[in-house]
């Protein structure tokens, strides 16, 4: 458990005494979380942090599209969505991941995000890749 430490100064009539308070993470009311490979943490103010892994193929050699289904639906808006390729499953290594030239995410949905990747190097045709996904929303 992480502790949050804060200082508070109180005038004792002559000078100030400093008091230190500690708040344990489990004392935060209203947080929800699932700490799995595809998980989330919903903070008391409503901010939701989500992460996960997705596998996808470059079937036509230059594009790869995949959907990441959120562990929990968001209520209002996706603020940030990103996916990074981390591994070439077909070749069992991390080469070729630097060949991706562009990507963007369609986050018009509060239940999932669709990611689009493009490469100019068609040596990744018919290769399967693992992507790490990170989402912020509320």
The tens digit of pLDDT for each residue in 84-103 reads 888 888 778 776 666 666 67
pLDDT at 48 over 70: yes
Does the pTM surpass 0.85? The reply is no
pLDDT at 58 over 90: no
For residue 44, what is the domain's CATH number? 2.60.40.3940
Report the distance separating Cα 86 and Cα 134, nearest Å: 13
Q: How many domains does the chain have?
A: 1
User: What is the extent of the structural domain holding 52?
Assistant: 28-137
Query: Domain for residue 12, yes or no?
Result: no
Angle subtended at Cα 33 by Cα 29 and Cα 36, rounded to the nearest 5 degrees = 160
Lowest mean pLDDT among 9-13, 57-61, 87-91, 107-111: 57-61
Amino acid 108: pLDDT: 82
Lowest mean pLDDT among 46-50, 99-103, 126-130: 99-103
Query: Domain for residue 97, yes or no?
Result: yes
Query: Domain for residue 119, yes or no?
Result: yes
pLDDT at 1 over 50: no
DSSP 38: S
| pLDDT confidence bin for 20, thresholds 50/70/90 | low
Instruction: Collect all residues with Cβ–Cβ distance below 8 Å to 33 and sequence separation of at least 6.
Output: 39, 40, 41, 42
Instruction: Outline where 6-112 has alpha helix (H).
Output: none
Check if the beta carbon of residue 67 is closer than 8 Å to that of residue 113.
yes
Say which residue, 87 or 23, is predicted with more confidence: 87
| pLDDT confidence bin for 7, thresholds 50/70/90 | low
Region 11-39: mean pLDDT is: 78
Check if the beta carbon of residue 103 is closer than 8 Å to that of residue 85.
no
Query: Domain for residue 101, yes or no?
Result: yes
Query: Domain for residue 5, yes or no?
Result: no
């Amino acid at each position: 458990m992480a502790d949050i430490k804060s200082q508070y100064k109180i005038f004792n009539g002559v000078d100030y005494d400093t008091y230190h308070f500690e708040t344990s993470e489990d004392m935060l009311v209203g947080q929800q979380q699932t700490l799995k490979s595809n998980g989330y943490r919903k903070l008391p103010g409503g901010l939701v942090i989500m992460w996960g892994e997705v596998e996808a193929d470059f079937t036509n050699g230059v594009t790869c599209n995949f959907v990441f289904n959120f562990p929990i639906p968001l209520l209002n808006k996706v603020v940030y969505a990103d996916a990074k390729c981390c591994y070439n499953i077909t070749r069992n290594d991390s080469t070729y991941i630097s060949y991706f030239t562009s990507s963007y995410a369609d986050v018009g949905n509060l239940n999932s995000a669709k990611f689009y990747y493009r490469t100019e190097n068609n040596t990744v045709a018919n290769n399967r890749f693992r992507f790490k996904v990170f989402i912020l929303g509320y």
